[in-house]
Amino acid sequence: MSKNIESITTEINQTKLYHIMIPRRCIHYNDSLHLFHNIRKFYQFAPLYKRSHLEENEVASTPSKNKHSQFKNKSKYDSSSSKKKSVITTENVEKVSKFIEFQKQMGSTAQEEPKRSKSSSNDEQKSPDVVLQRLDNLMDAKSPKPSRRNRKHGIKRPEHESNLTKYHTTSEKILENEIKQSIPPNKNDIPKLAHNLDRVLFSPGVHFLQDPRTRIYNFSPFLKKVISYKDFNFDAIEGFTPASKHADLLMNAQKFKKQFYSSTSAMTPILSKFYALLNDYKPLNVNRFGNIPFNGLSYYLPASLVIQPQGEYYDNETKSQKPVYSISSDKSCDSEIILSAMGHCLEVLLTNPEDEFVKYRKDSTGENPQVAPSTYNYASYGDFLMRSQLDCYDERLPGNGTFDLKTRATTNIRYSSKDASKVNNDYQIWKLTGDYESFEKEFKDLIRTGAMLKYLFQARIGQMDGIFIAYHNINSIFGFQYLPLEELDKLYYKGAEEPTIIHTNVDEIDESQLIDNLPTMIGETQFKFSMEIWQTLLKDHILKDLNAEFDNKPTPFRLIVEASKSFKRQVELTVYAVPITTEEIETLQGFSDRFPSDFKSEMPQEQRLKNLARHAEELEQFNEKLINNKNVLSYKVTVQSSTIDDRYYVYSSLPSSKFNDWRIKYNVTKLVKPNNEQLLKSLQMGVNSLSHGLDEKDVKVSTFARSLNKSHSMYEKIGSIRKKSWEAKEKTPVVYHPKYKF
């Protein structure tokens, strides 16, 4: 093993990876494992810092042509940094040898190194990638000695000796790979905004329904009082069709020869996990979103999907039939809350004038409205066909002219969404900023809970221009806001510091150097990364392993993905694939129907609580039985490095200027011994969310939750007082109209 270290050190010197900064604490570590990890970490980014004398002379004599040189970039990894640099020698690396020799004595085996062709050139054998790969292989031989915490709790370190890791790189020239519109929608069938709300589309910022000071209406007073869900005729609108039951979606997947098809609602949870992976995002990284942490329940809940074979298509390349799989949401933890019922009511309200909307009332004496069929956009990338339901259209918007309608309830409703009494609350939004009763509060909560990230992915999958948000408290609407996709990208793909453009000559400035649309460029590229990693995970790993186990018979499975929750290590994804039968899928997806908790029927709150409790209890038993009786497949997905225009970067660092190419390297490791106990714990989080906090006397309700509910109740009372004080000004509604025409 020591010979391996010497040979690696020799290769490092030959590849000129010796000008590397080593932190002082690394040299003083007594634990060889920590030293080894630090060496590996800095070798990973060594191509950033390597400078031979020849290269330095070339750089000194050649003017820079790199686009990135226009910007100030005082990176802590800059080779011009004044920090002390150390030379990595055989003497330093040999400090690790005792640990490796101990591993050898214990019978551990390093991970199998990918075979290389004998005809490989010496340059290839000495390349940085090969050196990093060999270091990866050595690092996989981990110490059998558990940590102090694990020894204390009697936890054994999982055995990784025989885990199989495969190395992947995203496609070249990824900017040229388009997200194609497979089937454009019929725009005549897409609803349009009513009540002159289209003004909001072309005026950034929040628009008050009423001026909070004068109480003059900026839009129709008809929007002020929202219809009760009890009075709305839900039979007059079309329900949601899951991907697994959408015949047209399957037919189109076969037509376009796509192996996977899904809907936006099913895809967004797993795309959120890929966002955390690609950006190494943890809830403590509050600077990412302007000091707003993304730490809501959706961040911690695993993404759970049901993937089923539905048919076949003929592949011209392989001259054989290939199975087609549907990807649907796991609905086992779904329970109808009042917000889901009100969302449909409000969408109809915003897209129908007053004389048309009254037809949707149960007590309407006129002709019932004709049920309008849903309109979809079909987009494709790689082997995926993606379906998006289109809510609204305006021909003046760029692109397809489509956008999504979102109705956002106030925080007091969302934190008590299963409480039917909240329909009569008087919580108000009447100011722009503030900790309560403000649009700022609701906007921050959109980011914190992960809802805004979900909106971003839905708009991108649907090739929409943006999202239209209506803020309400169930019985009143307070205001509206339109967020184009570019603004959403700035929230999630903008660096913490904007680079300063330095020019010696004003004439040098041109359009290509502007970075206004850089966040959208980054966001679209990361979306493609996510789709490629997902496709590789499914085709090259999960389906191959399932085919080997089930004799090449297409098998349905439950896909569960969770992001690591450690704040000390980089984010990695843990993926579970649980084989499942058709009967088990019907049981899994039918829990919400077996234990109804909807608000449309006149169900007493006591019965609703009982149903949710039984739902949680039986689902927990179902999960335990399913996991313990199946051969669960498990994988780890880890990102290694990033290459932007042939320069190496920390993979989670966002580009500071426009780029021509961006690639990332990542690993997929199959775990020989899946942690079924951890899988059950992850699934239990969703089970607990069904009934947790419904009963105010529940001892499990945290002190913080009780305090928050108390604050909301207080502001609901304050809202009632405000409402009475405004009545005098609202006896005769006054609507704003411009005095002068233009």
For 207-265, what is each residue's pLDDT tens digit?
A: 999 999 999 999 999 999 999 888 999 889 988 899 999 999 999 999 999 999 999 99
Query: 586-602: string of b/e by CB count within 10 Å (b at 16+)?
Result: ebbbebbeebbbbbeee
Please report the pLDDT score of residue 182 as a whole number. 96
Domain boundary at 133, 162, 191, which?
162
715, part of any domain: no
397, part of any domain: yes
Sequence-ordered strand ranges (E) for 369-499: 376-381, 384-389, 392-393, 402-409, 466-472, 477-484
Q: Are residues 347 and 472 in the same domain?
A: yes
Both tokens of 228, joined, read 């009760």
Domain ranges, residue 238:
176-500+516-704
Q: What is the DSSP letter of 213?
A: T
First vs last C-alpha separation in the chain: 82
Q: Are residues 95 and 149 in the same domain?
A: yes
Sequence-ordered strand ranges (E) for 179-237: 180-183, 206-208
Q: What is the DSSP letter of 373?
A: P
> In which residue are the tokens 């109808």 written?
336
**pTM given for the model:** 0.79
Please report the pLDDT score of residue 66 as a whole number. 44
Q: Are residues 119 and 152 in the same domain?
A: yes
Please report the pLDDT score of residue 294 as a whole number. 85
Please report the pLDDT score of residue 689 as a whole number. 85
Give the C-alpha distances (Å, rounded to integers) separating 196 from 285, 403, 710.
Answer: 40, 16, 38
Q: What is the DSSP letter of 498?
A: P
Q: Give residue 606's Cα distance to chain centre.
A: 36
Which mean pLDDT values do the consecutive 10-residue runs of the chain (742 residues) have? 53 45 38 47 46 40 42 39 43 51 46 42 51 52 51 51 87 94 94 97 97 95 91 89 95 97 97 95 76 84 97 92 97 82 91 94 85 93 97 97 96 80 88 96 94 97 98 95 96 70 65 80 97 98 96 96 83 97 96 84 81 93 95 96 92 89 96 94 91 57 78 94 90 90 78
Q: Are residues 588 and 624 in the same domain?
A: yes
Please report the pLDDT score of residue 702 as a whole number. 67
- How far is the C-alpha of 402 from the C-alpha of 382, rounded, in Å? 23
For 54-85, what is each residue's pLDDT tens digit?
A: 344 444 444 444 444 443 444 433 433 334 44
Q: Are residues 155 and 189 in the same domain?
A: no
**Structural domain count, the chain:** 2
Please report the pLDDT score of residue 296 as a whole number. 85
Please report the pLDDT score of residue 591 as a whole number. 93
Pairing of strands 662-671, 633-644: antiparallel
The number of residues making up the chain comes to 742
Q: Are residues 637 and 603 in the same domain?
A: yes
Q: Are residues 351 and 413 in the same domain?
A: yes
Q: Are residues 218 and 126 in the same domain?
A: no
Please report the pLDDT score of residue 386 as a whole number. 98
Q: Are residues 580 and 485 in the same domain?
A: yes
- How far is the C-alpha of 51 from the C-alpha of 16, rounded, in Å? 7
